[in-house]
Amino acid sequence: MSHTSRFDRDLSWLTFNYRVLEEAAREKTPLLERVFFFSVYCSNLDEFYRVRIPAVAALQKIKETKDSYTSASGVQLLTIISSRLHTQLEHFGRLLTGGLLPALKAHGIHFNYHEPIPSEARQAATNYFLTQVLAFLQPLHLLQTGSDFFPENDHLYFLVILDQDGPGEDLVILNIPSDSLPRFFPTGEGASRHILFIDDIIRENLSFVFPYAIVSGVFSLKISRDAELDLDDEYQGDIAEKIEKKLAKRDAGLATRLLYEPGIPLPILETLIRQLNLQGATRVEGGCYHNLRDLAGFPVKDPALSYKPLPAIARNVDHRPSLLQAIMEKDVLLHVPYEAYDPVLRFFNEAAIHPQVEEIYVTLYRVAKDSRIVHALISACRNGKKVTVFVELKARFDEANNLRWAKKMKEAGVKIIYSIPGLKVHAKIGLAKKRVDGRIHYCGLLATGNLNENTARFYTDHILLTGNHELMRELELLFIFLCKRKDPRKAEKIAFHHLLVAQFNLQERFLALIDREITHARKGRQASIIIKMNNLEEKILIEKLYEASNAGVRIQLLIRGICCCVPGVSGQSSNITIRRIIDRYLEHGRVFIFHNGGEEEFFLGSSDWMNRNIYRRIEVCFPLYDPQGKAEISNLIQLQLADTAAAIAITAEGENVTADPLPAGQPPTDEASRSQPAIYRYLAELRNSPTSGN
């Protein structure tokens, strides 16, 4: 362990992504799911290069910033990252060629990887090239005078070297049209079934592209560019228009990485870098195939080689005449994807047409491409409801989709509130106001994840549907504030008593809750904290956890991704254990449980403990008051803490422990303990119980 008391966030992220890779290596993971995990690893890495590498590089100029800490300078950190990535990518190659490819072949799937197209597939491949691929090829002679070619972010290209009569070679950039065609071409059946890269189909048919030239070299490459939009904290004019213009320029951002196939002669590589203005990009020598995130579209479907389906569990509220009335009577806590997302869709659908509903408010951060929720909001407006939607236009990589939906809603008459300068609204909240016999009644929802019916199929999240008047009244106050588009850091604060809202009271309340456990521990009482979240980075909260550990508070953390907290260090964190779960579903829910002298308090919410969540976002965490909801969350968390199959311990050295994922004395790995199937079984039994109330 380094001399600092916190792990570097980027190095911690690398251990998380390595854990994803390990899931791809597990022989107990169904074969086609292993293919998918390979794609996830690559997709994560691409985003890391677009988002984090530029940020780390900035440390070369600024060693210390108010929201980032590291034990190394930017240069040192980049060197460490580069070294670890090199080791990981070498491991990736071994797992792919020595593990996945032979396993696929054993099931009659010949995935042609770095080998010639077999004779029995050649005719079909050539025909596909001539009828489909050739239409999209656009060769560009790099050294021609006046060439202004600009390689697009993460697009695939070949550098083709052609011999010519005069001195030197002719260098041609040839696009690989994986953005227009499927990356893989399946051909044949049974023992003759082959999966081909279109890259290889192009390589073997270059004579059709350059019929009068001799091809002396073909090398694949791609360029990653900085993904930040670089928006000012203070906007003037139309924010939607400004973001739209920035989006048009995103793929023209600064090049951060040149990834290329080995073997390019050094003088030609230098010419390529000079011609494409890539002097500032990190050079990475990789394999002959890039963008292996495309493995997510691997063209083989076989239920026997995939996860066993877990049909979403229905809730009894689905059969009630009015969902809005049902949640006015009793809270409904959903656990997706184990349970059906239908009640969320029904909440908005019913609110859109219910004659007593007068107003609807909602925040949208990442929505589905064809969002049923947004369609319901548009219908609500056309049905005479007052609909107000806060659309976060700065949700990275979802800006264009959010902007598109915002325009559609605005055209329908929905009141659209755009981003607050300098902040992102990351809260997942919705509110419907009913007028019954002249009195206002509230019902709403608060969630740990986005209001997105697509991601709800594979993100684990919790959604509270409630008519609790105190919670809903505070939610209304927050929406009123958001409509003003003021910076809460500069405005008069709202006194929230139930909700924990970042920029108002969230950090303060969490610190107080931890302090209360410290007080219990110092008085000799049982004291414990259980926290589940995606990422943990913020210094003040980590230091408070260390203080609690030293006071004797037992702290159990479930952290999926970045974790800067160092566990198990004498005099600092000896009472802290940290586990990471990677499995078929993406762990996304945020859960906070405080023992409170035996009167446990439960909170759920949208907020991780990252600097961005604490200081630069509007987040909402909310208490659970219903005893049934508390019991369900407690049981789900206990199943995850007992997981010895998908859970990995994070040690004081910051590495995933794969051979012995639990501390000494704990039981060995047990597949039956895998928490996600166990949670599904628990909920299925619970919902089918005649006494559960569903």
Residue 257 in contact with residue 279, Cβ under 8 Å? no
**Number of alpha helices (DSSP H) and beta strands (DSSP E) in the chain:** 18, 28
Closest CA to 215 of 264, 263, 162, 176: 162
Task: For residue 358, count other CB atoms closer than 10 A to its CB.
Answer: 14
Give the span between the Cα atoms of 3 and 72, in whole angstroms: 11
Angstrom distance (rounded) from CA 464 to CA 422: 29
Going from the C-alpha of 133 to that of each of 70, 128, 176, 208, 371, the distances in angstroms are: 47, 7, 9, 11, 33
Q: Do 675 and 639 touch, CB atoms closer than 8 A?
A: yes
Active site residue 194: no
CB atoms within 10 A of CB 632: 21
Reference 28, options 644, 686, 633; nearest CA is 644
User: Residue 166, class by beta-carbon neighbours within 10 Å (0-12 exposed, 13-18 middle, 19+ buried)?
Assistant: exposed
Nearest CA-CA partner of 586 in 50, 35, 23: 23
DSSP 500: E
What one-letter code names the amino acid at 568? G
Q: Which of 354, 375, 426, 462 is catalytic?
A: 426
User: What is the crossing angle of helices 627-641 and 675-688, to 10°?
Assistant: 150
User: Strand 528-533 to strand 554-559: parallel, antiparallel, or no bridges (unpaired)?
Assistant: parallel
Residue 337: cis peptide before it, omega within 30 degrees of 0? yes
Cα–Cα distance for residue pair 337/462, rounded to 1 Å: 9
**How many Å apart are CA 435 and CA 390, to the nearest integer?**
23
Query: How far is 223 from 204, CA to CA, in rounded Å?
Result: 24
Phi and psi at residue 362, to the nearest 5°:
-160, 150
Active site (catalytic) residues = 426
